[in-house]
Amino acid sequence: MSIDYQAKIPNNVDLSNDRALQRALEHWQPAFLDWWKDLGPTTYQGHEVYLRTATSVDAKGWATFGHVKMPDYRWGIFLADKQPDRTIGFGEHAGKPAWQQVPGEYRSTLRRLIVTQGDTEPASVEQQRLLALTAPSLYDMRNLFQVNVEEGRHLWAMVYLLHAYFGRDGREEAEEMLFRHSGDIDNPRILGTFNEPIDDWLSFYMFAYFTDRDGKYQLKSLAESGFDPLARTCSFMLTEEAHHMFVGETGVTRVIKRTLDEMQKLGTDDPETLRKSGVIDLPLIQRYINFWFSSALDLFGAEISSNAATYFANGLKGRPDEGTYEDHDCSTTIEKIETPDGVEEVATRNAMNYITRNAYIRDCDIGVTRWNRLIKKAGFEFQLKLPSERFNRSVGVWTGMNFNTDGKSTSRDAVQSVLPSEADRGYVKSLMVGVTEPGKCANWTSPPDRGINNMPFEFDYVRAA
């Protein structure tokens, strides 16, 4: 179904023919806009931003670009096209028709999955609300705002599912997602990672690369769901999510390029010397990788999980790219998982978090390999790496134990020494001075190879109205 942009709430779910649902969502809309104005990006709400807006759910030519004030952005409800005769692809219900309504026995579990996913979307907007003040360029500011408005749209996607399929409970959960706030002592966001402020741009790039990539794998898992509206919702969200990871990878790349330029100019890799030139040394970038990667691993949950087994068995949440596996039942197979007590044989269904996390790690390593090629090409031997999955863990079998980045037992002080220190964070924050002149960027980073939508770097991506 095509997107109806004449409606008060743009959608491709035929909202106008469900008056009760339409009224309920139109009642929620002002609360969302109030939240956006109060806790969304600061200072620039009245500026015109060069944003993309979804106009189709077709992967080819699905969006248009233009300047728009963020409060006027056309947030909407977009589901991927329905697949005729789609069946459930895994678990005990494999081969049966996908559910178009919520099965009663799975109502509570599905609602919790949707709420947990949905809660991360406004949380990240709140975490990043002050970043525009220190944007290293208008190009970066525009990218931040693009990520923010799309996280807002992803919230709309989850709220639609709650309103459309979960009745009063769903409506109350939708209201709660605007009542909880990132870092709020009394009403924090559900997942701990989303309660930490992101107050420097290196952290933002790392968040976009590592944490948003976790989001990709959660969405890919939910896109396999036997509950068809959830699967279709997440399928389209993945189309938008790709840009967020692009912002992360290219952001880190540009920081590394600038540092390498200075290393070549000065003929040294000494961190103190480089800091005097106002760039971010490679060992400091490694410590940020250590922190954000280990934090993201915790988001996958425990390696051995009865909840994950239940989700899979009941057809609620599959493995990313489930169709690439031969066995979609997994009731008689095992996985070998390293634990503090040695290698443990675990039923495959109980190892779904572990399997998904391993795919995530392989994906993360692709960008790290690219960064290392840049460093080597510049004539330096330093290599960035992902730390061991045992390192700095707060969830799973390695929780609270002290291992170094190679996975070997060590002291807590040694662990802390390879995480960003207060001095590290203070130095990075000292570099965060906003640059708002078109075509200019902060000293600690470098211009992108190309602009957005074939526009030059000098384009006025954000302008006063």
Phi, psi of 335 (to 5 degrees): -120, 145
Residue 248: pLDDT band by 50, 70, 90 thresholds?
Answer: very high
Q: Is 449 exposed, middle or buried (0-12, 13-18, 19+ CB in 10 A)?
A: exposed
Given this model, what pLDDT does residue 1 score?
55
CB 327 within 8 A of CB 347: no
CA dihedral angle for residue 423, residue 425, residue 427, residue 432, rounded to 10 degrees: -160
| 3-class DSSP assignment, residue 392 | coil
- Given a cut of 60, whether residue 39 has pLDDT beyond it is yes
pLDDT reported for residue 111: 98
Find, among 311, 291, 315, the residue nearest to 89 by Cα: 315
What residues form DSSP beta bridges with 4?
A: 11
pLDDT score for 368: 98
Strands 63-69, 48-54: pairing kind = antiparallel
Domain boundaries, the chain: 15-463
Q: For 235, how many CA atoms within 13 A lie in the half-sphere containing its CB?
A: 18
At 404 the pLDDT is 98
**Residue-level pLDDT at 55:** 81
Mean of per-residue pLDDT scores for the chain: 96
Give the pLDDT confidence score for residue 106 in this predicted structure.
98
Comparing 51-60, 261-270, 378-387, the range with the smallest average pLDDT is 51-60
Note whether 2 and 12 are within 8 A (CB).
Answer: yes
Percent residues over pLDDT 90 in the chain: 94
pLDDT at residue 135, as a whole number: 98
CA distance 212 to 239: 13
The pLDDT tens digits for 345-370 are 999 999 999 999 999 999 999 999 99
For 181, list phi and psi in degrees, rounded to 5: -135, 145
Looking at the domain that runs over 15-463, which CATH code has it been given?
1.10.620.20
> Per-residue pLDDT tens for 305-334?
999 999 999 999 999 999 999 999 999 999
Distance between the two ends of the chain, CA-based, in angstroms? 34
Residues 17, 258: Cα–Cα separation, whole Å: 54
Q: How confident is the model at residue 54 (pLDDT cuts 50, 70, 90)?
A: confident
pTM: 0.96
Residue 218 CA to residue 245 CA, distance in Å, equals: 14
Taking only the tens place, the pLDDT of each residue in 187-218 is 999 998 899 889 999 999 999 999 999 999 99
When pLDDT is cut at 50, 70 and 90, the band that residue 5 belongs to is: low
Distances (CA, A) of 70 to 102, 146, 147, 189, 280: 34, 9, 12, 23, 32
- Rounded to an integer, the average pLDDT of 3-23 is 87
Plot region of 59 (φ>0 → left; ψ -120 to 50 → alpha; else → beta): alpha
Tokens representing residue 47 in the block = 């500026």
Give mean pLDDT, residues 424-435.
Answer: 98
